[in-house]
Amino acid sequence: MFTVCICDDDASSLIYTRKMLLRASVQFNIDFKIKEFKSAKSFIDFANHEKESLLIIYMDIEIGDINGIEVISKVKSILHIEPIVYFISNYPEYVFDSFRVHPQNYLVKPVDFKKIKQTITDVNKKISNHDKQMIIILDKNTGNKRLTLINDIIYLELVNSPQRLIKVQTITDHFYTSGRLNRSYEELEKYNFIKIYRSIIININKIESISTNKVIVSNGDILPIGRTQKKQVKKAFIDLINQEFKNESF
């Protein structure tokens, strides 16, 4: 079971969002707890006691005199696991400002049931689908533990060997963690990750094209292939294409 937090100082809007979430819960038979907050302070206090919890947050962009974006930024600095955030607002002009805290989506009031239903579907897939394995990675910049779909990772790159600083590039953004790249490779190899260079591990599923000495991955980044890895990388890519072709044939 996961916890859904609704943060809105407008009582009627809060009640409406709660009703829509409960309706989606019944329709999809998904069980979750709902916590309601009418002030930023009460929500931040709650977050301080739920540091190890995964929170799904529906945040009003303006809650009292405080900007909801700043509230999420504060809460993210408290929580040890990256929350899943949806902003709800009467003000579409805030949508671009909200990107800096990486929300899942931005919903403009009045939010219809179809959109609420889609958010619950997306969350349930993100945390419950056993076909999509997840991993917790420490974000070195924020100190948060980020719950990340393994298949959302495009590549890992060791950018500073003495500090063991690793760049984690995902389909939505990138962040930095610390550790041993070889240990990460041992954990991820079974999920179609391969080492293409002494300092780079990539998700084979995210390769767009391969040339003699480089690969282009799904976000457009161009990465080098080590001389000793060329044959192995090309074989792995071809094997994946052949497997996908067989699956489509059936």
Residue 162 burial (C-beta neighbours within 10 Å; 0-12, 13-18, 19+): exposed
> In this model, does residue 248 exceed pLDDT 60?
no
pLDDT tens-digit profile of 94-147? 888 888 888 989 998 888 899 999 998 888 877 665 445 778 898 998 887 787
Looking at 128, 148, 174, the residue that finishes a domain is: 128
* Main-chain phi, psi angles of 162, to 5 degrees: -60, -35
CATH of the domain at 47: 3.40.50.2300
What is the pLDDT, as a whole number, of residue 247?
Answer: 55
- Residues 95 and 162 placed together within one structural domain of the fold: no
- Residues 237 and 147 placed together within one structural domain of the fold: yes
Percent pLDDT > 90 in the chain is 50
What is the distance between the alpha carbons of residues 2 and 58, in angstroms, rounded to a whole number?
Answer: 14
Residue 60 near residue 13 (C-beta atoms within 8 A): yes
- Residues 235 and 149 placed together within one structural domain of the fold: yes
What is the pLDDT, as a whole number, of residue 250?
Answer: 46
Q: What mean pLDDT is predicted for residues 62-70?
A: 89
Its pTM stands at: 0.57
Residue 57 burial (C-beta neighbours within 10 Å; 0-12, 13-18, 19+): buried
pLDDT bracket for residue 170 (50, 70, 90): very high
Looking at 80, 107, 128, the residue that finishes a domain is: 128
- Residues 62 and 154 placed together within one structural domain of the fold: no
Residue 15, beta-bridge partner list: none
- Residues 119 and 43 placed together within one structural domain of the fold: yes
- Residues 28 and 117 placed together within one structural domain of the fold: yes
Residue 194 near residue 226 (C-beta atoms within 8 A): no
- Residues 139 and 209 placed together within one structural domain of the fold: yes
* Main-chain phi, psi angles of 73, to 5 degrees: -60, -45
What is the pLDDT, as a whole number, of residue 180?
Answer: 95
- Residues 62 and 158 placed together within one structural domain of the fold: no
What is the pLDDT, as a whole number, of residue 131?
Answer: 45
What is the pLDDT, as a whole number, of residue 196?
Answer: 95
What is the pLDDT, as a whole number, of residue 14?
Answer: 94
Range of the domain at 178: 134-249
